[in-house]
Amino acid sequence: MRTPVSLLSLAALLVASCQAKLSIKAGKATISGADATVTHTVNLEPSKTAQLKLAADETFKMVFTVFDDEKNVDVMPHQAFLRFWDEQTEDEGIVPVKVARDGKARFSMNIRKPPIGLPPTTGDPLKVSLILGSFTYEGAVMPLFDITLPPSGSVPPHPDEASYHPQPEIFHTFRPDQKLPPKPISFVFAAYTLAPWLVLIGFLAKLPISLTPTTKTIPFITCLAAFEGLLIWYWVDLYLGQVLTYGAALGLLTVVAGKRALSA
């Protein structure tokens, strides 16, 4: 019975603590020259945005303390980042800030050895905001200051850059369409191709055979003619499935008729 009660109280505490918001106090930013003399100091407040300028040989240092603004207790957040944002090019960089257990944070930056998360700079001021995150407190994003850094050098082109541009357009040359020969030639050669029929008719007329069908052979010959008709129909209109179905039915008829026609 004790465990559920303690769990309930822990949950209530979490809910209560989640209402508390993180904030910073005693924030100070300094810019010191090459010889370590401080040239510029500014107090950081969550509501005010200071304008800073950092030259190539100068060092930027910042200190602040994170605290819970409800209970006024210094806390260590789980995450603390500085976000550098260029409004013109919409480049963004995130640089983590180390916060000690007592809530005190220190950050320093020198352009000669810039932090890895810094975005490419153009000479326009970068808007810097602090992002705090915590499991037990409500996180906070607060704009701190604008800083103008020296412009970064240009990026060398990637060795594969050239293959990512549009290639020259391909134009295919197609063989011209084949043409039919002129109609008179087609007619003449059609007549030539049908001429062997005349030869066949001549031969059959001369031969002493009877081409008249008898009652025995008529059904078979009709079925064969019907097959030829079915094939011509298939040529102009039918599909394969249909012609095979009709052909199978007609085939049965032909077999029956053929047996009768060819029987002795």
Tell me how many helices (H) and strands (E) the chain has: 4, 11
Q: Is 179 left (phi over 0), alpha (psi -120 to 50) or beta?
A: beta
* Inter-CA distances, 94 with 105, 106, 115, 200, 207, Å: 16, 16, 9, 96, 105
Q: Out of 19, 47, 173, 178, which residue is the one contacting other proteins (CB under 8 A)? A: 178
Binding part of the chain for other proteins, among 74-82, 88-96, 119-127, 194-202 by CB under 8 A, reads 194-202
Size of the site for other proteins (CB under 8 A): 32
Q: Out of 156, 159, 181, 241, which residue is the one contacting other proteins (CB under 8 A)? A: 181
Structure tokens at 172: 């295919």
DSSP codes of every residue in 47-83: S--EEEE--TT-EEEEEEEEEETTTTEE---SEEEEE
CB 52 within 8 A of CB 39: no
197 lies in the site for other proteins, by CB under 8 A = yes
Q: Out of 1, 15, 199, 248, which residue is the one contacting other proteins (CB under 8 A)? A: 199
Tell me the per-residue interface mask from 220 to 239 with other proteins, x by CB under 8 A, - otherwise: ----x--xx--xx-xx----
Q: Out of 175, 179, 214, 239, which residue is the one contacting other proteins (CB under 8 A)? A: 179
Binding residues for other proteins (CB under 8 A): 178-181, 185, 189, 192-193, 195-197, 199-200, 203-204, 207-209, 224, 227-228, 231-232, 234-235, 243, 247, 254, 258, 262-264
